[in-house]
Each structure stands twice: as C-alpha cells, then as structure tokens.
Structure 1
Amino acid sequence: MRMIVRRPIFKRDRSVWGYELVSDKPWSSDGVGTVSLKRLVSGQLEKLAALGVGPGDGKKLFLNIDSEDLLHDAWSRKWDQCVFGICGGAVCSQACSGFADRAHELGGSVALEADGPSGAAVMDKCDIIKVSLAGKTPADIVGIRKRYKEFSGKLLATDIPDWETFEGTKALGFHYFQGPFFVEPRIEKGAKLQPSMVSKLQLLRELGAPVCEMQELARIIASDVSLSYRILQYINSASFGLKNKIKSIQQAISLLGLDELKHWATVVTMTDLDSTPNGEELAYMALQRARFLSGLASTIKACRHTPETMFLLGLFSMLDALLDHPMEKALEGIPLAIDLKEGLCGADNEYGDCLRMLAAVERGDWEMANGLLSRYGACVTKAATEYLKASRWAARQLPNMK
C-alpha cells in the first residue's frame, strides 16, 4: 500500500493551478517491471480524482517522467490535464523531442528542471522550467532568473519554505509556486483578526464548552445563519445517508445527539474560516489529518489517546494557517486539554510527535515519518492504508460543507 500525498501548485493569485502526487514508493515500479505511460497517467489521474480533483476542475496533474522507456510509449489520449516533467536520463534521450511534440498535439505540456541534465535539444519545445529552491541563496535564485530571461515559457518555483520566499519569487516573475509555505500563517506585525474570524473563533469556544445543553447548542448554531445552513446541508448529504431530510437544528440534535452535532458543527466551522482557494486546501488538510490520526489511534494498541482526541488534534493543527495568526493566540479560550494545546504549539510530547510525523509525510520525508510511526508501534502498511482512506474521506466531505 502506498502513502500518497496530493501536493498543490499555486498560481500568482494563490489559487491552485495543479497538483503533484507524491508517494513513498516509486511510481515507475508496479512490482513486476517498469510501468507503461498509459498505466502511469491513467493511474495517477484516477488517484487524483479519488482525492477530489476531477478532469472538470481545470486543475493540472504534474507527472515526473524519468525513464526513457516511457517516452517511446505509443499510447494516445487527451493529455490536456497533464504536465510532463521530463527529468533524469529521459532528458538526454533522442525520443525526448518527439515525445514533446506528441504531448503538445494531445493538449499536454512539458517541463524541464533547471538543475537537471541539459535539455538543449528540447528546450524550444519546453513550456515550463522547474526551479527547486532547496539549498539556494537569494543570489542563486536571481541568477537562475537571469539565465532564463529570454525563455518564453513559464517558471515554476518548488521547495518554497515560507511566505517571504513566495513573495520574492513572485516579484522575480515566477508563475507557479510549490512548497510548504502555504501551511504557515502569514503573520503581519500588529495585524488583528477580522470580525468574521473573531465570531467564528467564539463559536469554536462555545461549541467546545464541556457543559452545553440542547437549547444552548441550538442557540449557538442559530446565531450564525451561514453555519446553520451549512450544517443542515452537510447532515442531509450522502455522507450521513439519512432516509428523511432534517429540517431544523433541534431535529438534528434529537436524531444525532448533542455530542455528535457539536462535533460536526466544529468541523464545519473550521472549514469555513478561510474561503479562499488557499484556505480550501488548508481545510482539506485539516480534515485529512483529523481522520488519519483518528483512524491511526484505532489501530495502535499503545496509543493512550482516544480517536476523538486525535481527530481534534488533526483538525486544529491548521488553525494558525487558516487564521494567519500565531497558534498560541488562536487557541486562547478554546477548551482543549493543556497537553493537546502544547502539542499544537510545537511541544515535544506525543501530540507534537504526531504533528511532526504528519509534516514529514507531507514533505516526503519518509524516513522521519516511518521512524516516528515505529516509535509508537504503528505498522507502516496500516498507516499508509489509513492515510489513503483519510485522504479520500476528506475529499468527499469538503464539497458537502461549502
């Protein structure tokens, strides 16, 4: 079982341009031999659709082609959703130029790596230059930009660590951006939360109150018309599979129970904190993390925390980025256990280890992720299964919460 992460690529306006799928196992191997281009493309498109990104969404799929064998595949289909990143030994292949022509004929695009083998023979057919910022100084990046001053295509910056670097590459004229920068809060000195954010944080505090009666919960939810609508819409979606339509919050409480409705009201409120495309990606990650940690807690005998607590850990792990506010400030007044809050703020405890494991998975540091999973007695294969299940679940839930 693979552990598959969908890694977004953003445009200059911070909307999502496309995705690259990253796995803990090489895509080129199917356990028998080298996979065909047909199987690679169709397989990744199917996985991307399962993770909530279909062909009608207008998002690109970035695939790395590092084997010369794939360039000779005569398979033909519409490739308008595909961007082929030709890298490794494939760049020097004589078949590279013909592959680029065929990709363009079928609506696809071709990318080369700035630091990869010379692609002079296919440079005039290249649409995108991919520039990894890992280990590079600002002067290095400026030098690369000058090198491609006459390049008529577009530049993709990857491994962007923070928002400052994002703004720097944007100012240099880069078009696409990838990296862990978008999960970091954009904290501006003296900036205050918007009134809408303040009201939603207050909702989260009230929903988390240990003592909350039925009438009080109904009042809390009814105080936000948008929240009431979205909760009812979500409960009436296929996710719950209810036979009869729920028409009121009171009816929902009677049917689902107080604690269950509080749980889903909290989830819906969290996903509503930032309605931008960047915020939607963060909301997806929050749901995916929550479901993964909850499922993991159910499979690890040594785990001392309940699935419900682990769900909250994953859900709130994106709160600072969703609010563009320091985590310590964002959590003020929200009734969570002290050690859970400390873990969310980066403490060296079991909760903090779980979040560090998640971050390692998302950046593709499989050695660190597996080390942390093994420390707590987790089976890596089962963890991969839970991660994929959680990713698919998050992709299904998010559209119902909008």
Structure 2
Amino acid sequence: MSYVDEVYERVVKQNPGEAEFHQAVKEVLDSLRLVIDANEEKYRKMALLERLVEPERVISFRIPWVDDNGQVQVNKGYRVQFNSAIGPYKGGLRLHPSVNQGILKFLGFEQVFKNSLTGLPIGGGKGGSNFDPKGKSDREVMAFCQSFMTELYKYIGADQDVPAGDIGVGAREIGYMYGQYKRLTGLYEGVLTGKGLTYGGSLARTQATGYGLVYIVDEMLKHNGNELAGKTVVVSGSGNVAIYATEKAQQLGARVVALSDSNGYIYDKDGIKLDIVKDIKEVRRGRIKEYVDAVPTAVYTEGKGIWSIPCDIALPCATQNELNLDDAKALKANGCFAVAEGANMPSTREATDFFQENGMMFMPGKAANAGGVATSALEMSQNSLRLSWSFEEVDEKLHGIMVGIYAKAADAAERYGVKGNYVAGANIAGFEKVVEAMMAQGVV
C-alpha cells in the first residue's frame, strides 16, 4: 500500500463520522501523489503526512447565553488550529446549525493550503459554533458573541491565532467579539479581521473574496485564449461572496443571470440588478425570492436547480457539496466551459473529476476563494503598522495576489506534467511551501 493510501486510511479510522474532512483529505492527497511518491522515503521517515493531516490543536467548549425571554441557552463552540508552520493560525469563524468538529477540520485543512498559496505568512485554522444568528435580536447575538469570546480569547492573539468572519459572522458579530476580547485582555491589537473601518478594519475586505474569485477567473481565461467580457455567468448563493463576485464580473463586462439562497434561485435573463439584491440581502436581510417583486420579468424557482441554467461560466459561492455530478453534466450540456469555486469545496469529488475529464477549466476553492483571507492578512499588516491603506491600494494588492496564485497553480501543474490541472497545481504549490517550513522546523 502506498504512503498516501496508508495515511488516508488512518484519517478515516481515527476520525469516524467526519465525511467532509475525509473528502478534503482524499482530494488533496490524491492530487499530491506525484510529489509524495517522489519523496516517499524522506516524508515517511519524518511522518510528514501524518502530521499534516492532524490538527495541532482542537479546542471545544460550551457557550451559555441568555435569550430575550430570560432563558439560558447552550451552544457548542470550536477552534481548530490546524497548522502554524508558516505563520499564526488564520481562518474564519462560522455560525450555523450545521457546524460540527468534522466540518471545521475540513475547512481548517483546506485553509492551510489556501493561506500558503497567498504567499503571505499565515497558517491555517477554522472555528465557530452551531449557534444560528438568523432570527435573533441584536442583543441575543451580542450575548452569544460575548460568551463565545469569553472562552475563545484564551487561545488567540495577533501573533498566535487571528480569526475572521465566515458564514453567519459579519461586521456585527466581529464587532461584539472584538469588544469582548478587548475588555478581557486590555489589548487593542489585530486579533480579529473583518473589523469595522473605525477600529482597525480594512477597506475592500467586504468585497475581497468575490472580487478575488473573478480576478483569478479572468486570469485563467486570458491564459487559455479567452476573456470574461461578453460571457454569461451563473452564481450560486447571494451572500457576501456571491454579491461581490457578481459586481466585479459585471464591471469586467460579463452578464450574471442567476443567484440563489437556501430556498431557491432567481433567473434574470437581462442580467442581475445588483442594487436590488444588495437592498434585499445587506439592508433588509431578506430572501432572494423578493427579487421578483422588484423585477417582474425575473423568474424565481423554489428548491435546487440553478445549475440547469445555460451559461458560459459557473461560480458556486454558497456552501460545500452544493454542485454534484448531475449538475456538472447539466452545465457541460448547456455550454459551460469554466467553473471556479467561490465557496469552500462546493463541488463534489465526482463533479470536479467530470469537469477535468471533459476539458472544462476548473479552479478549486483553495485558489479561487483565497482573496478573502489574503485581504484579512493585509488587514493584519495594516494593524501591525498602525496604518490604513486606501481601497485602491488594497484592491491592487488583492489583484496581484490572485494573479500570483494562478501563476503558482499553473506552474506547479506544468512542472509535474499535468498542465491545466489547477486542482493538482494549487494543492502542490500550497503543499510545497508548508512542507518546506515543516521540515526546516524539525519534529514539532
């Protein structure tokens, strides 16, 4: 049995019931076989893969808080500090009922490679809770966030672990958490990113993941003799990533015709009116179906099926495993030739294999959605320097980072004889940097 297969079997055996984590590890290790087989003796002696797939630390805790009726509620909280070989742990906090240890381990593992690809000195981590902020009052959200941080603050710091936002954690939640951290420690430091602009946040952070996704798609198309202008694009989701991917795609001349949420999707053949979507989602916190009230020519469809809409480019920006093999086949049949992931692992393994086997350009999430964490790291830099850069400065740095990520993924794929395979390229490029740091630091 190969070293890769041994380690994967070990992961499944030692982490039962954590399907998303198993999926992420298998996808990465399979695409790294070329590198690992060439260095098997050295890596095996150092138990390098065993250390790579095991988090350095998993913190689990209870979060008691009081709701508006005076009832005490209890949620579970986690922080998975996966790998700090190239810098302090960095990765979002997710508040959603689906959050569990396995999902956070998958996200933390992916984050290690994603952060490595940015070229910035940040390690990988992820955290969150099964608390659902939807339908909660501001006071309830504050009570939860303060209780959450009362435990988490012991394990984080500007040079130790710098969490950010993720699903369910926006400016409001980060503000409450930062206030509690400051109250508990007496420190005014860049310990959280995604902060408000008045207290250390960075311009362009809100737009960063969506913008970065489109920047790397644009770069991928250019290097394959194509361009974004004039193309029809379908985007799943209607949160932060989807909204700003839509905005940047429109700015670069593409026509985005569909968005979705967990209830259903809208199709607007004339192109999404983003001002209406922003009002629904960012101002009123409503549902995407409300779009048709303002745009009667648009169509709302309940349930799944967004990938049945004909398009040139598909950008899944909602959640993990939202795009399956049947969806991939439908996209191909309807003329789609490029897919890039704005969410973390939104395509199933069968779907990603189909894209690659059928000559479709495919950019995986660890490369395509790295713009958010890259700009978070830029926020850390600004905090450390006690400076604030302009929107244009941050956006320019973000664009440069995404162009660099494309170049690293394309170069690594070509070096190992799999030109155009950006999954392998991104994994190899991220892996090489982390492994070099791990080897240099000894057995830790």
What's the TM-score, normalizing by structure 1?
Answer: 0.29
Question: Is the strand fraction higher in 1 or 2?
Answer: 2
Report the structure number with the largest CA radius of gyration. 1
